[in-house]
């Protein structure tokens, strides 16, 4: 009777696993939001594989491969956190120090595998790790607490987004509403069932598996086909309504000095360039420089600098004298500090990845 469930779970796992790997590879190549969506999908795909194993009693087989030791719910909370940051904050960049957030996941998996290996090779019937209250809290309850916190932040960001659009009297179409709220709604329902099963001990396991099978992979495909699918739409920019009190400066004179300095001295090629650095170079107040850029270029300081860097890379791509350099080399020469930052900024300014841009140029 339950064989059909096992087949469905196994097929759903296979589909989800392949899709998660595709998203992870796409994320490693530059689309960071896809990386973390892939990690989220990987954890939930493993849950379906575990459901299959329970249906066919795979866990009790003497020759069973303990794949369940490689599953960590901590990874779901951490990956969701970074996905939320990347999909709601256009300026957020995942950098090497953020890898430290994944250390608890690695430690948990290492302890699980070591515990299993010790039991198998010594024959000693050790108790399950879940019987330890501290372990149960860290691996079962803490991920739930983490997901509640992440979803709370996600909800606040979505609410702020909605208020901004309402304030600007811009209506959201049905597809846009699905983009904005679809994944959030799915995660809220999933977390609610998770709480009901683990904390309240309600019989919701089957409901969780049905939810994963029916909903998750549709959202996953949307994220794979269009990596920006879950990114919040860009709000219309507001132009400054009043000029700060910089009466002693002539905007046009200082604006020409700003342009000349950036282009002649190529300040934008300095990695890590800050507003204070430019202010010191021009001997102008940082707030006034920010005002000039916001007013006359309709962007902020980082956006202005990055646009000049992207233009520099595009110019050099067409320069025969620069053909011996890789595109990453050109990006570093232009002032970008890393490949991931360059890929993200280039896509924002040209609507194409560097590789896609090169194909069009050819």
Question: Which tens digit of pLDDT belongs to each residue from 318-343?
Answer: 888 888 888 888 888 888 888 888 88
DSSP 275: H
- Model's pTM, two decimal places? 0.64
Question: Which tens digit of pLDDT belongs to each residue from 14-39?
Answer: 888 988 888 888 888 777 888 998 89
- Kindly report, as residue ranges, where domains of CATH 1.20.1070 are found in the chain: 3-225
Q: What is the C-alpha to C-alpha distance for residues 307 and 192, in angstroms, rounded to an integer?
A: 43
Low-confidence ranges of the chain (pLDDT < 50): 1, 241
Q: What is the C-alpha to C-alpha distance for residues 258 and 251, in angstroms, rounded to an integer?
A: 10
User: For the range 249-253, what are the long-range contacts, defined as Cβ-Cβ under 8 Å and sequence gap of 24 or more?
Assistant: 249/284, 249/288, 251/292, 251/295, 251/296
- Kindly report, as residue ranges, where domains of CATH 1.10.10.60 are found in the chain: 251-361
Q: Which two tokens stand for residue 102?
A: 């994944």
CATH 1.10.260 for the 3-225 domain, yes or no: no
Q: What is the C-alpha to C-alpha distance for residues 54 and 302, in angstroms, rounded to an integer?
A: 52
Q: What is the C-alpha to C-alpha distance for residues 187 and 36, in angstroms, rounded to an integer?
A: 14
Task: For the domain covering 251-361, report its CATH number.
Answer: 1.10.10.60
Place of tokens 């689309």: 31
């Amino acid at each position: 009777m339950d064989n059909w469930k096992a087949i469905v779970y196994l097929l759903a796992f296979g589909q989800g696993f392949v899709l998660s790997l595709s998203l992870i590879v796409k994320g490693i190549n530059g689309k960071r939001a896809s990386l973390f969506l892939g990690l989220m999908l990987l954890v939930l795909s493993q849950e379906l594989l575990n459901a299959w194993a329970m249906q066919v009693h795979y866990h009790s087989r003497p020759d069973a491969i303990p794949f369940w030791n490689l599953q960590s719910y901590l990874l779901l909370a951490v990956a969701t956190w970074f996905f939320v940051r990347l999909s709601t904050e256009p300026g957020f960049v995942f950098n090497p120090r953020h890898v430290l957030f994944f250390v608890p996941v690695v430690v948990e998996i290492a302890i699980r595998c070591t515990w299993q290996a010790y039991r198998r090779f010594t024959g000693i019937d050790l108790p399950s790790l879940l019987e330890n209250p501290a372990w149960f809290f860290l691996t079962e309850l803490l991920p739930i607490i983490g997901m509640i916190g992440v979803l709370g932040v996600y909800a606040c960001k979505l609410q702020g987004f909605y208020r901004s659009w309402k304030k600007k009297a811009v209506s959201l179409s049905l597809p846009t509403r699905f983009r904005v709220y679809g994944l959030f709604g799915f995660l809220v329902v999933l977390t609610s069932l998770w709480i009901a099963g683990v904390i309240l001990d309600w019989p919701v396991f089957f409901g969780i598996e049905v939810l994963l099978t029916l909903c998750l992979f549709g959202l996953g495909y949307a994220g794979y086909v269009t990596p920006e699918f879950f990114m919040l739409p860009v709000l219309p920019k507001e132009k400054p309504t009043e000029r700060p009190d910089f009466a002693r400066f002539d905007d046009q004179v200082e604006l020409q000095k700003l342009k000349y300095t950036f282009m002649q001295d190529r300040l934008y090629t300095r990695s890590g360039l800050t507003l204070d650095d430019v202010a010191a170079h021009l001997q102008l107040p940082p707030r006034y420089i920010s005002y000039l850029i916001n007013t006359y270029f309709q962007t902020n300081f980082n956006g202005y600098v990055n646009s000049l860097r992207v233009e520099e890379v595009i110019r050099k791509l067409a320069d025969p004298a620069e053909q011996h350099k890789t595109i990453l080399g050109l990006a570093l020469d232009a002032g970008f500090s890393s490949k991931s930052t360059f890929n993200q900024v280039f896509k924002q300014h040209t609507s194409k990845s560097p590789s896609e841009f090169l194909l069009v140029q050819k």
